[in-house]
């Protein structure tokens, strides 16, 4: 049984919606219903799922290509004329940023989805893996 409260994609908000044509009419008559957004490609939400809309299909296949700025490191070594005043031989300030930005049109959390529980049948299936975190590191190298 499909459970409607499970985590869903944002596109589910575009699912097919039906309304009764005559609210006073027979609610069991399929002729008394109309789809209010007939151009949608997302199936309607029902608990019994008579059309098996949750089966594996290409309905949610999308382009997962991406370009990621993976690692940036910037550093600056202060000139000896400045660092000699504090009796140091070298002073370097740096910042390192990992996973700064991902360019993609993929609608999931992260296009680098990996495999689910190391199951080869689920390679390439996005099961909501937590996205790669962005890490900022600020540092100082001081030599005496």
Mean pLDDT of each 10-residue bin along the chain, 144 residues long: 59 80 88 87 74 72 90 95 87 96 89 72 73 93 90
State the pLDDT at residue 40: 85
Q: Which structure tokens are listed for 59?
A: 């309905």
Q: In angstroms, rounded to a whole number, what is the distance separating the alpha carbons of residues 8 and 21?
A: 29
Residue 106, helix vs strand vs coil: coil
What is the tens place of the pLDDT at every residue in 15-53?
Answer: 878 889 998 988 888 888 888 888 887 777 677 777 776
Can you list the positions of beta strands (E) in the chain? 18-20, 33-35, 66-77, 90-104, 135-143
- Domain spans of the chain? 1-61, 66-143
Closest CA to 77 of 1, 142, 22: 142
Q: Please, which residues have CB within 8 angstroms of residue 80's CB and are 6 or more apart in sequence?
A: 89
State the pLDDT at residue 1: 45
State the pLDDT at residue 117: 66
Give the number of other Cβ atoms within 10 Å of residue 87's Cβ. Answer: 7
How confident is the prediction for the chain on average, in pLDDT? 83
What's the length of the chain?
144
State the pLDDT at residue 12: 72
């Amino acid at each position: 049984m499909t459970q409607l409260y499970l985590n869903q994609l944002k596109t589910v908000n575009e699912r097919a919606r039906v309304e009764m044509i005559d609210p006073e009419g027979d609610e069991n008559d399929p002729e008394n219903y109309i789809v209010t957004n007939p151009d949608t490609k997302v199936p309607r939400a029902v608990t019994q799922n008579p059309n098996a809309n949750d089966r594996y299909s290409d309905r949610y296949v999308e382009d997962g290509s991406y370009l990621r700025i993976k690692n940036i490191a910037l550093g600056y070594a202060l000139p000896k004329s400045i660092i000699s005043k504090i009796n140091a031989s070298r002073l370097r300030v740096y910042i390192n940023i990992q996973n700064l930005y991902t360019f993609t049109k993929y609608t999931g959390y992260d296009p680098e989805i990996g495999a689910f529980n190391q199951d080869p049948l689920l390679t390439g299936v996005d099961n909501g893996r937590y996205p790669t975190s962005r890490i900022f590191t600020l540092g100082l190298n001081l030599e005496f």
